[in-house]
Amino acid sequence: LALETALHRALPRDELQLYFQPVMKAEESELIAVEALLRWRHPDLGLVSPADFIPLAEDTGLIVPIGEWVLRSACEHHRRWCEAGGAPLHMMVNISARQFREEGFAAMVASVLAETGMTPGELTLELTESMLMDDTDRALARLDHLRALGVCLAIDDFGTGYSSLAYLKRFPIDELKIDRLFVRGIDRNTRDAALVSAIVSLGHSLGLRVVAEGVESAAHLAVLRRQGCDLAQGFLFSPPLPWDEFVAAYPPAG
C-alpha cells in the first residue's frame, strides 16, 4: 500500500524519467531507432525498475496516466532530436496490456501525435503476444485503428508469450523483437541459433523487420549478421541512458 501511495504521487512529483536505448542496423551498426524505457526515482528506494512497478500500475489503473506521460515524453524527446538536426530516428514505446485495452487508447495516441507534432511513421508501439491473444477480434480492431493513425506496431519479447502463429497472418504488424532469452546463447547453442534463424526467416517471409534484443557481444552480432537479422539492441552498443547521455553518445548532428 505504501508503494501504491507513492506511485500515485510519482507523476505530480515529477519522479518518472525516460531512459533511451539505441537500436542499430545489424549490418552497419548504424543508429536507426531508440527504445524509451521508464524509470521511477522513488524518494527513499532510489531507482525502481518498471518490472517492479508496472504490475502495480496496471492493477491500480495508474498505468493509464503514466502510459500517456511516457508516450508524450517520448514524442517530445523525439522532437528535440529533430530540432537538433538529427537524422530520421524511430522512437519505440512499450505499451502495457491494460493501456491497450483502454477504450480511449487510440484517441489518446492520436492527440499526443497532434500535440507534439510527432511524425506517426517514426513512432513504433511495442505490444506483446498475450495482449493480442485474448479477444483477438477486438485486438485486431484496435490494431487497425492504430495503424490508421500511421504508427508502426512491433511485437515485443517475441517467442516467449502464449501465442499462435495464425495471428501473424491476420494482424497488421511491422516488426518482431526477438526476446533476449533466445539471443543469449546464439553463439554457443545450436538450438538457440536455429530458433533465432527461424524467427528471422518467418519475419522476413511475412515482410516484417526483425530486431534482436539482448545483443551483448560481438559474437552475438556476428551470428545475427550471418542470419540476416535487420536490427540489434543491447549492451554491446549501449545500456539505456538518460537523454543527455544518449545525445552525447550519439550526437544528432554528428
> Where on the chain is the footprint of ligand G (CB under 6 A)?
21, 37-38, 49-51, 54, 70, 94, 96, 156-157, 180, 213-216, 234-235, 240
Task: Decide if residue 175 touches Na ion (CB under 5 A).
Answer: no
Shorter beta-carbon distance to ligand G: residue 85 or 219:
219
Task: Decide if residue 157 touches Na ion (CB under 5 A).
Answer: yes
Shorter beta-carbon distance to ligand G: residue 85 or 104:
104
Shorter beta-carbon distance to ligand G: residue 8 or 85:
8
Residue facing ligand G at closest CB distance: 234
Shorter beta-carbon distance to ligand G: residue 97 or 202:
97
3-state SS of the chain is CHHHHHHHHHCCCCCEEEEEEEEEECCCCCEEEEEEEEEEEECCCEEECHHHHHHHHHHHCCHHHHHHHHHHHHHHHHHHHHHCCCCCCEEEEECCHHHHHCCCHHHHHHHHHHHHCCCHHHEEEEEEHHHHHCCHHHHHHHHHHHHHCCCEEEEEEECCCCCCCHHHHHCCCCEEEECHHHHCCCCCCHHHHHHHHHHHHHHHHCCCEEEECCCCCHHHHHHHHHHCCCEECCCCCCCCEEHHHHHHHCCCCC
Considering only residues 122, 126, 175, 179, which one is a binding residue for Mn ion as defined by CB under 5 A? 126
**Which positions ≥6 away from 88 have C-beta within 8 Å?**
122
Residue facing Na ion at closest CB distance: 157
C-alpha to C-alpha distance for 231 and 203, rounded to whole angstroms: 12
As measured in angstroms, the least distance from the Cβ of 182 to Na ion is 11
Shorter beta-carbon distance to Mn ion: residue 6 or 126:
126
Partner from Mn ion, ligand G, Na ion, none binding residue 159, C-beta < 5-8 Å depending on class: none
| Residues in contact with Mn ion, shown as a per-residue x/- string from 61 to 100 under the rule CB under 5 A | ---------------------------------x------
Task: Decide if residue 156 touches Na ion (CB under 5 A).
Answer: yes
As measured in angstroms, the least distance from the Cβ of 6 to Na ion is 26
The residues that touch Mn ion, with contacts defined as CB under 5 A, are 94, 126, 156
